[in-house]
Amino acid sequence: MQFTISARGKPAAAPIHKFIKDSFSDIPIEQIESFFGFTEPCTLYGGRVFNGAELSRYDLRSLYKLGINLRIPLTNHYATEAEYTSCLPFLEKHYRPRNSVIITNDNLANWIRADFPAYRVEASVIKNINTLAKVEKAYKIYDTVILPMESNEDEEFLLSIPEKERVMLFANAGCAMTCPSKICYTSVSKVNKDGDISLWQCSQSLKPRDMFGMLDFDLEYLQDLGFHRFKLLRSRPGRMTGF
């Protein structure tokens, strides 16, 4: 079993060793395949608003020494070729075998694959790949695919997926599990382009939801179905994530 772990909420000044001890002490180091988070400003970030670096250069050196890789959340919905070209120094800086980029925009995925073949190119959960047809289509562009949280409860769908080693499931779930609209993702993409926080939107204020806390999935059950790669979120105080 391998985990990729969120660096969300980690101040860049806090050493990564302390963050792991405080937030993920029950996960053996050898099972942590990668951390994902922000390292420096980049307009291609998505998923969450960029409010500053989470992983410092010191953190990255420490992670690499431990055999832990970096996953870069370049999940912005919008990307032009000119913008991609302007971000090449950022991509070159973190380019090394076993590091990954998490992508929502298919054009961006193709550009990065052509110029940086050693990056693992991963289809973001934001793409909402929730059918076998979507999985097979994504396999043509991406090395690996992250399925939506709710897919963990669809055994028929999970069993139908070929090449399960190319799929990542969530180890736990937060607000996205029961979100009625997920309007935050597109709005975050816009915020990270120009820094206008007024563009931020969340459906919590629009519609009721059944769950606002964290849910832990049965990983032994998911392993028995053939899945071994899991994405692990960090709980905020009170076992909360998102809102």
Domain membership of residue 119 (yes or no) is yes
- Residue 237 maps to a domain: no
* In-domain check, residue 191: no
CATH code for the domain in which residue 160 is found: 3.20.20.80
Q: Is 137 inside a domain boundary?
A: yes
Q: What is the distance between the alpha carbons of residues 62 and 225, in angstroms, rounded to a whole number?
A: 34
Do strands 172-173 and 215-216 pair parallel, antiparallel, or not at all (unpaired)?
Answer: antiparallel
Q: Kindly give, in sequence order, each residue whose CB lies less than 8 Å from that of residue 87, ignoring residues fewer than 6 positions away.
A: 42, 43, 44
Domain that holds residue 33: 2-175+212-232
Residue 202 within any structural domain of the chain: no
Structure tokens at 173: 């779930």
| pLDDT digit string (tens) for the chain, length 243 residues | 999 999 987 877 889 999 999 888 889 999 999 999 999 999 999 988 888 999 999 999 999 999 999 999 999 999 999 999 999 999 999 999 999 999 999 999 999 999 999 999 999 999 999 999 999 999 999 999 999 999 999 999 999 999 999 999 999 987 777 776 777 778 878 888 887 777 777 777 665 555 556 788 999 999 999 999 999 987 655 444 554
Beta carbons of 39 and 61 less than 8 angstroms apart: no
Please check whether residue 63 lies inside any domain of the structure.
yes
Identify the pLDDT of residue 148.
94
- The dihedrals phi and psi of 242, each to the nearest 5 degrees, come to 55, -120
Domain count, the chain: 1
SS (H, E, C) 37-58: CCCCCCCCCCCCCCCCCCCCHH
Which residues lie across from 103 on neighbouring strands?
A: 74, 123
